């Protein structure tokens, strides 16, 4: 078992999500930075879909009842075990924790979200086939609070060391136009930069910049939306939907981002540009 001593501002249990339920109004959810979670799991010998912890900016502090192998990937953050710093190896930490040991994942110095995997995985009760916390619908386990206790499963595999992805600066996101791109004057969409707003979360990344103006008046009935959909509300500032996005929306979608993974580690103020995909 793991006891949460310091939960941090938003630490959740995440795996690869619960895709396939959108027709029932259930978002996919799952880790925002799936490559980072997969890598952490491989480091400790877990299958890719094992559940780990996703921290946000300020990390968390945990006490391990039993000895464990632990990996931390994603955002750049110092990690201590019983007050002693863990060496960071090319963008990740892999270390053993003694029984009763305390692991402290500290403030991220670059990036936003760290991923902690423990050999055996976090084995909270699954909901609709996933252990992910969905911050929009409330499905899955609650976000972590101080004093919470998490079960750990049985170790099943051998560690595999890989290469972590790099956290980058300015983001250039590929965008496929549609289905409602004809509702807007697209001048400047691919030529002017946006900045990530502090109001972003696991549901969506809000952008601030040149407002997109309508070429067509009127309102839409709610339509289905997907991961990466760029919805444009009345103020003209785009919102890119992330893992906990709603399954329907009433604002027009100007396009869909091909890969939202870089947004998982992008801090408020990061510059975002779009490039058009075929």
Is 275 strand, coil or helix?
A: strand
Q: Give the other-Cβ count within 10 Å of 110's Cβ.
A: 13
Q: Is the peptide bond before 179 cis (omega within 30 degrees of 0)?
A: yes
- CB environment 80-100: b (16+ within 10 A), e (fewer): ebeeeebeeeebbbbbebeee
Pick from 228, 278, 277: which is nearest to 257 by CA?
Answer: 228
pLDDT at 255: 97
Strands 253-257 and 239-241: unpaired
Structural domain boundaries in the chain: 2-150, 171-276
Q: Using one digit for the tens of pLDDT, what is the confidence trace for 226-258?
A: 999 999 999 999 999 999 999 999 999 999 999
Evaluate if pTM is beyond 0.85. yes
Strand partners, 51: none
pLDDT at 166: 60
- Could you say which residues of the chain have pLDDT below 70? 161-168
Instruction: Report the C-alpha gap between 230 and 62 in whole angstroms.
Output: 37
pLDDT at 162: 64
Q: Using one digit for the tens of pLDDT, what is the confidence trace for 149-173?
A: 999 999 988 887 666 656 567 899 9
- CB environment 1-13: b (16+ within 10 A), e (fewer): ebebeebbebbbb
pLDDT at 269: 95
Q: Which CATH architecture has domain 171-276?
A: Beta Barrel (2.40)
Would you give the distance in Å from CA 136 to the centre of its chain? 13
Q: Under a CB-based contact definition with an 8 Å cutoff, are residues 263 and 171 in contact?
A: yes
Q: What six digits make up the tokens of 20?
A: 């396939």
Instruction: Report the C-alpha gap between 231 and 237 in whole angstroms.
Output: 9
Strands 171-177 and 102-118: unpaired
Pick from 133, 14, 114, 132: which is nearest to 57 by CA?
Answer: 114
pLDDT at 278: 84
């Amino acid at each position: 078992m793991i006891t949460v001593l310091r939960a941090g501002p938003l630490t959740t249990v995440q795996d690869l999500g619960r895709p396939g339920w959108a027709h029932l109004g259930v978002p996919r959810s799952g880790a925002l930075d799936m490559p980072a979670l997969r890598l952490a799991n491989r480091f400790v010998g877990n299958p890719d879909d094992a559940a780990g912890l996703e921290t946000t900016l300020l990390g968390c502090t945990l006490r391990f009842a039993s000895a464990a192998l632990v990996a931390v990937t994603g955002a750049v953050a110092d990690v201590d075990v019983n007050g002693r710093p863990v060496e960071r190896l090319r963008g990740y930490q892999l270390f053993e924790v003694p029984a009763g040991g305390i692991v402290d994942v500290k403030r991220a110095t670059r990036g936003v979200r760290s991923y902690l995997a423990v050999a055996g995985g976090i084995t909270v009760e699954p909901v609709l086939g996933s252990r992910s916390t969905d911050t929009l619908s409330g499905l899955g386990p609650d976000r972590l609070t101080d004093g919470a206790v998490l079960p750990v499963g049985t170790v099943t595999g051998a560690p595999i060391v890989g290469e972590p992805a790099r956290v980058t600066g300015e983001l250039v996101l590929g965008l496929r136009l549609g289905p409602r791109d004809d509702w807007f004057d697209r001048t400047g969409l691919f030529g002017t930069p946006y900045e990530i707003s502090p109001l972003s979360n696991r549901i969506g990344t809000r952008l601030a910049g040149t407002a997109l103006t309508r070429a067509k008046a009127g309102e839409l009935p709610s339509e289905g939306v997907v991961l990466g959909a760029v919805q444009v509300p009345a103020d003209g500032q785009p919102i890119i939907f992330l893992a906990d996005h709603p399954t329907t929306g009433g604002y027009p979608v100007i396009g869909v981002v091909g890969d939202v993974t870089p947004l998982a580690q992008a801090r408020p103020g990061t510059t975002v540009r779009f490039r058009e995909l075929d």
